[in-house]
Amino acid sequence: MKTSAQRSPTAALLFGLVITLAAVLAFAAYMAVQLAGLRKLQSQMVDRNRKDSLQLLRIQSDLNSVALAMRDMLDAEGPYPLTAWSAQFQRMRGDLNAGLTLEAELAGEARTPEQRRFLSQSVAQFWDAVDRMFVLAEGQREAEAREQIRLSLQARLQALSASVSRLLVENNAGEQLAAARIAQIYQGVQRQLYLFLAATLLGIVLTSLYLIRSNRLVFARMEELSAQRSELAQQLIATQESTLRHISRELHDEFGQVLTAIGSMLARANNQIPENSPLRADLQEVRDIAQTTLNSIRGLSQALHPVLLEEAGLESTLDWYIPTVQRQTGIDIHYDKSGQSFPVETAAGVHVYRIAQEALNNISRHSGAREAWVRLKFLADSLELEIEDRGAGFRREKGQRGIGLVAMRERAEILGGSLTISRPAATSGTLIHLSIPRERVEAHAA
């Protein structure tokens, strides 16, 4: 019989597991890098840009305050001279410079050197012009000072405001760009996540298909081996029965006939010897030994293969066998039959008889029980046999293969039945229950 070695799926599954773990680790590293970049983008660009915009708004508010003050200073009919505005301008100057310093720190690399120089130079030139204006006002030249406000300071202030407005616009554009980059990162991560999930699902599907295929091959191989084992067991059982039948017939026919002939010859010889001859006693002793041997051979022949199975059927064979076992072993066997009996086909009867024989042998050899129960049940749709004892119970010794139990199960399987071994409720011991469908054992008239 040709057999092919099945390749174990372990190596492929381990390889798949390694690939899956590597993919998970790679994706986790990718996610960590993307999230770190996203955090950096949010903290260094978005948050810093927002704070810088707040400082630019503060600067623009200071510039608006300066513009309002200069508008009031241009009113020649005002109640205060221009020099009275000096202290207010100093305060606004300090606040504006503080805002510009903080804004320069927050802007960082977002500002070009040209923008920094232009802003600082514009602010410095504006305050220089303001200082010159207040010098003119202190020299009682308010008209010239107002003219300088109108012609120079307001223009410089508008230029500063326009510059700050441009920086605010750039910040807004930067925020929009950062938001777009954040959205791009989110989309990329989401896309990679979907791809990873799809790849994972594909891997799971492929692994599942591979496992299903491997399991189908393994189970098919197991089924094939089980069928081969069952076929081999049936052939071995059939060979065993054929051998036992042949030995039984040889013992019964050959040796039985020889011993019967010896007994007849001894009887004739005994008749030819005088009544008072001491040889008569010796011949009688030999005749008794021959008869005892003949009886033993007939008993052994029946034990190997009861002729009753073929002549009278299973029920009669058990009726003869159970009292025989009781006499030989000394075990008190309670034999009970129930139901409407029906004829059992000879081949099936052999298997049932062998199961009962093996069970009773196990009770005699291993259980230590002195009492047993045998129940033969003829049911409407099945034939059942129960053999129970209250002994040590079924336990397999170390190194014991339980060939007898295997043979019992195989015989039950051959008949399409079931064999169960259990412990009787609330007692020790063993209960063997055999159930066979009636149509598999019933003998039908030809």
The contacts of residue 79 (CB under 8 Å, 6+ apart) are none
The contacts of residue 375 (CB under 8 Å, 6+ apart) are 336, 337, 338, 384, 385, 386, 387, 388
The pLDDT assigned to 47 comes to 74
Domain boundaries, the chain: 10-211, 311-441
The pLDDT assigned to 433 comes to 92
Fold topology of 10-211: Four Helix Bundle (Hemerythrin (Met), subunit A) (1.20.120)
Per the structure block, which two tokens stand in for 399? 């190194």
Measure the CA–CA gap between 360 and 197, rounded to whole angstroms. Answer: 64
The answer to whether domain 10-211 and domain 311-441 are alike in fold is no
| pLDDT one digit per residue (tens) for the chain, 446 residues | 444 445 666 776 677 778 777 877 787 787 777 777 777 666 666 677 778 788 888 888 888 888 888 888 877 666 678 888 888 888 888 888 888 888 877 776 667 778 778 888 888 888 888 888 888 888 888 888 888 888 888 888 888 888 888 888 887 877 777 777 777 877 877 888 888 888 888 878 888 888 788 888 888 888 888 777 777 777 777 787 778 777 877 776 677 777 778 878 877 777 777 777 777 777 778 878 878 887 777 777 766 767 777 788 888 888 988 998 888 888 999 999 998 989 888 888 888 988 998 888 888 888 888 889 999 999 999 999 999 888 776 655 544 555 778 888 888 888 889 999 888 756 678 889 999 999 988 875 44
The pLDDT assigned to 367 comes to 80
Three-state SS at 268:
helix
The pLDDT assigned to 41 comes to 64
Three-state SS at 408:
helix
Q: In 3D, which of 130, 73, 72, 136 has the Cα closest to residue 96? A: 130
Contact in structure between 419 and 432 (CB atoms under 8 Å): yes
The pTM assigned to this predicted structure is 0.51
> In degrees rounded to 5, what are phi and psi of residue 395?
-150, 135
Q: In 3D, which of 363, 393, 414 has the Cα closest to residue 237? A: 414
The pLDDT assigned to 135 comes to 86
The pLDDT assigned to 3 comes to 44
Per the structure block, which two tokens stand in for 84? 């009275």
The pLDDT assigned to 45 comes to 66
Report, at the CATH architecture level, how domain 311-441 is classified: 2-Layer Sandwich (3.30)
The pLDDT assigned to 434 comes to 93
Measure the CA–CA gap between 104 and 119, rounded to whole angstroms. Answer: 10
Burial 379-406 (b: 16+ CB within 10 A, else e): eeebbbbbbbbbbebbeeeeeeeeebbe
Three-state SS at 334:
strand
Contact in structure between 111 and 84 (CB atoms under 8 Å): no
The pLDDT assigned to 362 comes to 87
Q: In 3D, which of 271, 263, 319 has the Cα closest to residue 295? A: 263
Measure the CA–CA gap between 261 and 248, rounded to whole angstroms. Answer: 19
The pLDDT assigned to 444 comes to 58
The pLDDT assigned to 165 comes to 85
Per the structure block, which two tokens stand in for 198? 């799809």
> Taking the chain, what is the end-to-end CA distance rounded to the nearest angstrom?
38
